[in-house]
Structure 1
Amino acid sequence: MIEFTVHAVENASDDSKPLLQKSKKAYGFVPNLHAVMAESPALLEAYRTVAEIFDNKTNLSPTERQVIAMTNNRLNGCTYCMAAHTSIMQGLRVDEDVITSLREGTPIADPKLEALRVFAEKVNLSRGWPDDSDVEALLAAGYTKQTVFDVIVGTAYKVLSNYTNHIANTPLDEAFAKNEWSGDAQPVD
């Protein structure tokens, strides 16, 4: 297996250094995901930019954004992101039953959140080709046409991190270790 560097602010390239400094300021530490992404300033900047857009420019609540993120994390088998986003949801005080459902891939009791979970799953599994009935079900649950596209933003955000973690085998940060996850998603041959 090829090993990738987990960069520190001090040894990062001049283009990645300010991005890692922003991460440290935001989180109190540099998450290993960001430290690995620092190998490519373009990747790190793209990830941070899409994450900021997803958080601040969509019509989704923090819980709804986590439903989309966690659904993609689970389907993509990203152990790092499952642990990290579980920690994020706990910090947001998301109901434990929602967190458990997302970690296990089981239905969420709240029908609106469940409709969002199912649609995010359909988008991921169909590689962006959900059926009209899938879109109609999301709209019937009280979401909008904007939400359809905001799910795509969330999916793109998770592709950046999930795929990075798969390739780099990013070590789990101590901050997320209590929420370690191992799923059954396997690489496609």
Structure 2
Amino acid sequence: MEAVRRNLGHLPPAVARLAASPHTLDGFLQLSALFERTTLDPVAREVVIMTVAARNECHVCVVMHTGKLRALGADEETVAALVAQRPLDDERLEAVRRFTLDVIAASGAAGDESLAAFFGQGFTPQNALEVVMGIGTYTLSAFANRLTRAPLEPTA
């Protein structure tokens, strides 16, 4: 938790609640750090995260990652579409969003058409597995936040 505090300058309530299970907290922190080092670009990673967060109705995740998307320079229409679970105008990012949803719906067994659409936007088999990693990591986060009734952080 000290690393989170140093990195963010404070300890988010969601992290504090997750600490009720040190193994769960440690697992999430390790997985999220690994996901940040994948070959997916930062905006594509955030599209995976926001797709999982919105689908799982994790309001804490949506708020946090909306801020991260904005910090990365994502336009407001992209952010709004992700929050509302609508298709994205950017074809490449829409391929990430759609593929994420297809992987979830098929419990990992995304169809050939889904894979072809994802690969058609320049993504690789490695990227496909990284999407699976992101789904797992942020499903853990969303479920834990919902289970613990993690509150939204107060805004300044």
Band of TM-score, shorter chain:
over 0.9
Matched, 1:45 2:26: yes
Q: Percent identity?
A: 29
**Which piece of structure 1 moves more, 69-78 or 122-131?**
122-131
TM-score, normalised via structure 1 length:
0.79
Contact 2:50 2:83 in 1 (8 A): yes
Equivalent-residue separation in structure 2 for 1:124 and 1:80 (angstroms): 20
Higher relative contact order (CA 8 A, sep 6+): 2
Residue deviations 1:54-112, cap 9 Å, x none? 001x1111100000000001111111111111111122221211111101111111111
Alignment equivalent of 1:109, drawn from 82, 89, 93: 89
Equivalent-residue separation in structure 2 for 1:34 and 1:82 (angstroms): 15
Matched, 1:147 2:156: no
Alignment equivalent of 1:34, drawn from 15, 21, 24: 15
Higher gyration radius (CA): 1
Partner of residue 48, structure 2: 68
TM-score, normalised via structure 2 length:
0.95
Equivalent-residue separation in structure 2 for 1:46 and 1:159 (angstroms): 13
Alignment equivalent of 1:118, drawn from 81, 94, 98: 98
Contact 1:119 1:134 in 2 (8 A): yes
Alignment equivalent of 1:161, drawn from 128, 141, 148: 141
Partner of residue 3, structure 2: 22
Q: Which runs of 4+ in 1 moved over 6 A?
A: none
Counterpart residue type for residue 14 of structure 2: L
SS for the counterpart of 1:174 is: coil
Alignment equivalent of 1:88, drawn from 47, 60, 68: 68
Equivalent-residue separation in structure 2 for 1:126 and 1:173 (angstroms): 34
Equivalent-residue separation in structure 1 for 2:19 and 2:126 (angstroms): 32
Partner of residue 77, structure 1: 57
Unaligned runs of 5+ in 2: none
Equivalent-residue separation in structure 1 for 2:104 and 2:60 (angstroms): 18
Unaligned runs of 5+ in 1: 1-19, 178-189
